[in-house]
A = this chain, B = another copy of it.
Amino acid sequence: MRDVIVAGVGMTPFAKSQSTLRALAGEAVSAALDDAQLAVDAVEAAYVGNAVAGLVTGQEMIRGQVMLRPVGIEAIPIFNVENACASAASALHLGWQAIASGLHEVVLCLGAEKLTHEDKSVGMNAIGTAIDVEMRAELAAEMERTGGVAGDGPRSFFMDLYADMARSYMRISGATAADFAAVVVKNQHNGGLNPRAQYGAELTVDDVLASREVVPPLTLLMCSPISDGAAAAILMSRVAARRVGVRGPRIRASVVVSGNRHDKDDPTAGSAARAARAAYEQAGLGPSDLDTCEVHDASAPAELIVYEQLGLAPPGGAPELIASGRTRLGGKLPVNTSGGLLSKGHPIGATGIAQICEAVWQLRGDAAARQVEGARVALTQNGGGWLEGDSAAMSVHVLTAD
């Protein structure tokens, strides 16, 4: 398989936006092409991640074609890829595969999502389809038995899942709500340095704990917001890129897995841990080689759990890691320098490629006030959906500066 580089990236600001889905997509694609200094007709195929446009805009089936036509992308192969909140990382993986295989030299990977709608329940109900919809009632009953507060709508339902996971993690690790709040403090600080982030603020742990309770132990600031936005990456074979003088970080590992029915008391047995192990093997690198990570902090506790799944901390060691400051900007391994999903925002089908944008900017030294000095190796982790105790889809990518 051939070496694949990220020739260019682009993303819209993440926000509750007045723009249409196709306008957001167009903005990200144009920015990525500009960044790669490539014309639109260089693109040989496109892989488009989106999760909820069918329910939010009424457009199913040919969403990528509809999004890309206005920027002049037609005729080429276009694939519409869905994997809940991991839709964009899945699209990236398929584009990577197309270049690695030798089938194409230049491809576009796009993630785009519009969650806001004049009827607020539309986006929230749409997110609720990232579980097995036939098991919704059963799942709610189970959470009630285990001490959760079953939410009355699909959005709180997903946060119920995160709350359940958080309580279970607290029992195993001794983590406290203050540890979760420390994640928010860090990520909101980082988001404040990111002009594309939806939020960003200087907060204290007490501020986070005092925000409105969603489902115990989660407060509002521990939950990622509803966002609109798009992110794009242009991938090229290293050979073709050299020929035309295009440079960019290299994708050293691209892994997608699905969840399975593992031992739920062992956080290192889940899909993120499996995906990370496969990615480290593919890259020939390990956790100690990483300079920065973007992880799927759809809720604050998830970032801590993921620290352990990625091997950044030993089992039960994540509370110590966040407390140590090592994952802050200026620390040894800054995590979610972009602000993460909590602060940058979470337009679900765009998130996986937005993480790649941040990784690329870090590896090129383009991250301005968020720059991790001398970053050479970055990891991104993007999960999606929920099925019988694990994410339905999980992706880990590892990129190096060259």
Contacts and interface: CB of A to CB of B under 8 A. Distances in A.
Interface of A: 1, 51-52, 54-55, 57-63, 65-66, 69, 74-84, 87, 90, 93-94, 97-98, 100-103, 126, 129-134, 256-261, 271, 274, 384-385, 387-388, 392-393
A256 B62 contact: no
Contacts of A385: 61-62, 65
Contacts of A97: 94, 97-98, 101, 103
B126 A78 contact: no
B259 A75 contact: yes
A307 B178 CA distance: 68
B393 A129 contact: no
Top 7 A-B pairs, shortest CB-CB distance:
A101-B101, A75-B260, A60-B129, A62-B385, A61-B84, A62-B392, A80-B82
17 contacts: A51-B61, A52-B60, A54-B54, A59-B129, A60-B82, A60-B129, A61-B83, A61-B84, A62-B83, A62-B84, A74-B260, A74-B261, A77-B258, A78-B83, A78-B392, A80-B82, A97-B103
Contacts of A52: 60-61
Given A62-B83, A385-B62, A258 B392 contact: no
A83 B64 CA distance: 9
A60 B69 contact: no
Copies of this chain: 2
A131 B61 CA distance: 8
A57 B97 CA distance: 31
A129 B58 CA distance: 7
A245 to B, nearest CB: 26
A236 B229 CA distance: 38
Contacts of A257: 75-77
A362 to B, nearest CB: 26
B387 A79 contact: no
Contacts of A260: 74-75
A130 B80 CA distance: 12
